[in-house]
Amino acid sequence: MTHPRGAFAPIPTPVGDDGRLDLAALDRHLDFLAEGGLDGVLVQGTNGEFPSFGMAERLANARAAVRVDRRLSLMLGVGSCALPEVIALVGAACSLGYQSVLLPPPFYFRSAPPEGLVAFILQVLDAAELPVLLYHIPQVTGIAISDALLDGVVGHPRFAGVKDSSGNDEEMSRFIDRLGDRVYMVGTDHLISRARAAGGSGSITAAASVVPSLVTATHRDAALQGELDEVRGLLERYGLGPSVKAILRHKGFGAYRTRPPLVGLDPDSEQALIRKFEDLLA
């Protein structure tokens, strides 16, 4: 099995003005990312707002991402608290031709004991026929990918490594030290150059959805990290998810609406974001 490496974008799931999936917008965005030189994309991760979509929608979105061969490595987010749903998504990823999947811990069960979390993950690994990355984003899930959890799964042949979206230097060092030849994918644009210098395998970062060529170039040239930091800082000031959607909307890819309980930017904030974004790229 080939493990994911390089620069990935965690793409938003496009929703039209009618509240339904906008698969034409997905096609336009994927074309843009491929032209920007990215190595791959993550479908239905945190930026894809996966908990907002039902299983039928998630499967339809997963199928749509593989309709055209853009030579992008495809990773499918399989997050759910229901083990049968996770296993069904993993099976779909395999049958559709995805190269890997991303598994967050079952986030509703924050007080589950380590042995229960290990049992959950091992059942997914047993069912998988492609590499599985664990998703470390404790500020969202409330469950860290701890050393004890890693120790319980590291020997499984389908355990590929970790995507780390903590944004924490110490966590990055912990994972790289413990993972050995497994994959470490950093989830924060600010840490791309440091992660690569420390032996990381790649990145899955929000800015890649809107400035793919800059993220790709930063992987090759650490001198561009400051320029990327400015873009990421701007997105963070207005909110990562809403900012990415607003920029894609501005580019004409689609409406990129948001389902409750999340909300998008108000018109004034959106205009200010777009103006500052264009100034940065001028």
Digit-coded pLDDT (tens) for 5-47: 999 999 999 999 999 999 999 999 999 999 999 999 999 999 9
Tell me what the mean pLDDT of segment 143-164 comes to.
96
Is 135 noted as a catalytic residue in this protein? yes
Kindly name the residue from 163, 188, 238, 258 that is annotated as catalytic.
163
Kindly name the residue from 46, 205, 218, 258 that is annotated as catalytic.
46
Tell me what the mean pLDDT of segment 165-193 comes to.
96
Complete domains list, the chain, with CATH:
6-221 (3.20.20.70)
Range 183-194 burial, b when 16+ CB lie within 10 A, else e: bbbbbbbbbbbb
- Whole-number pLDDT of residue 1: 66
Residue keyed to tokens 């031709």? 97
Closest to 77 in 3D by CA, of 63, 58, 52, 56 = 58
Is 276 noted as a catalytic residue in this protein? no
Is 98 noted as a catalytic residue in this protein? no
- Residue 23: Cβ-neighbour burial (10 angstroms; 0-12, 13-18, 19+): middle
Is 238 noted as a catalytic residue in this protein? no
- Tell me the pLDDT band of 226, cut-offs 50, 70 and 90: very high
Kindly name the residue from 98, 135, 184, 256 that is annotated as catalytic.
135
